[in-house]
Amino acid sequence: MSKVRRIRYVVKFANSNLPVVGKGGYLKKSIHLGAYGWHHEHWFSTFYPDDIPTGETGEEDWLLTYYSNAFDTVIVPADYWCTDKKVDCENWLDDVHADFQFLVECHARIFDCLSMSDWVDGLKKLRPQLGALVVLKSEVPSVDEVSFSDLIESVANTLGVDVSGAGFDEIWRQDDPRPSCLAYIEDDLSDMRSARTVAEKFIDSTGEGDTATMIFDHPELQAAGLLKFRSVLEIMGY
């Protein structure tokens, strides 16, 4: 099915609290907002329509298109590379709007599922909208830590993107608020007042005029929480 028909489907089933993010976005471009992954079982029926195609049994997968109409960035979890139905780099760029940015989690377990060359080939397909490579885990990976760092740095240099996380540029966290333009926040957004305080602290740590990215991750995080937080950012002027 064509991209135009897919977008019409997404808009048709989006509720009144889910405006489509077009070129330029509804959020100021100084703040990118997204989640760790977009394929969450507990988002079905609560965020994704019941009859949205999910890629099962050979059908098309419209989840990312729907997600990108609400948010403008995402971390692609390392585990996605080990599940064939979730990785389709060749079509991902067609599934999102022009200002959407992919952040790709790096972990040694990826290479238990596919070769380095296959992984890099996938990243090259995302290159036009690949924001950064991200190392979230602080534990030593299953390969030598120095070698892993060198490997990721080499890939990043080849692609012309930055690397954030352990051993590279810092990531802002609630329990370790180091100056950074990327925040990884483990919060379910059930308390918007608290979330606003977290946002203020993070934004204060970024340089004036810098583009900042906020990624939320929690087992109980709902897309509705992210949508409400997006409204909070808009009220704050972002």
Query: Where does the pLDDT of residue 85 fall: very low under 50, low under 70, confident under 90, or very high at 90 and above?
Result: low
> Distance between CA atoms of 132 and 134, rounded to whole angstroms?
6
Count H helices and E strands in the chain, helices first: 7, 7
Longest dimension (CA), the chain: 50
User: What pLDDT is attached to residue 23?
Assistant: 39
Please provide the size of the chain in residues.
238
Structural contact between residues 161 and 132, judged by C-beta atoms closer than 8 angstroms: yes
pLDDT above 70 coverage of the chain, percent: 80
Beta bridge partners of 214: 33, 183
CA dihedral 199, 202, 205, 208 (to 10 degrees): -50
pLDDT tops 60 at residue 4: no
pLDDT tops 90 at residue 83: no
Domains and CATH numbers, the chain: 3-235 (3.20.20.410)
| Integer CA distances (angstroms), 229 to 48, 174, 188, 194, in order | 18, 16, 11, 11
Structural contact between residues 115 and 143, judged by C-beta atoms closer than 8 angstroms: no
For 111, residues 6+ apart whose C-beta sits below 8 A from its C-beta are: 119, 143
User: What pLDDT is attached to residue 102?
Assistant: 97
3-state secondary structure of 174: coil
Least confident of 136-140, 160-164, 170-174: 136-140
User: What pLDDT is attached to residue 12?
Assistant: 41
Structural contact between residues 38 and 70, judged by C-beta atoms closer than 8 angstroms: no
DSSP, residue by residue, 19-48 = ----TT-SS-TTEEEEEE-S--GGGBTTTB
**Percent helix, strand, coil in the chain (nearest 5)?**
40, 20, 40
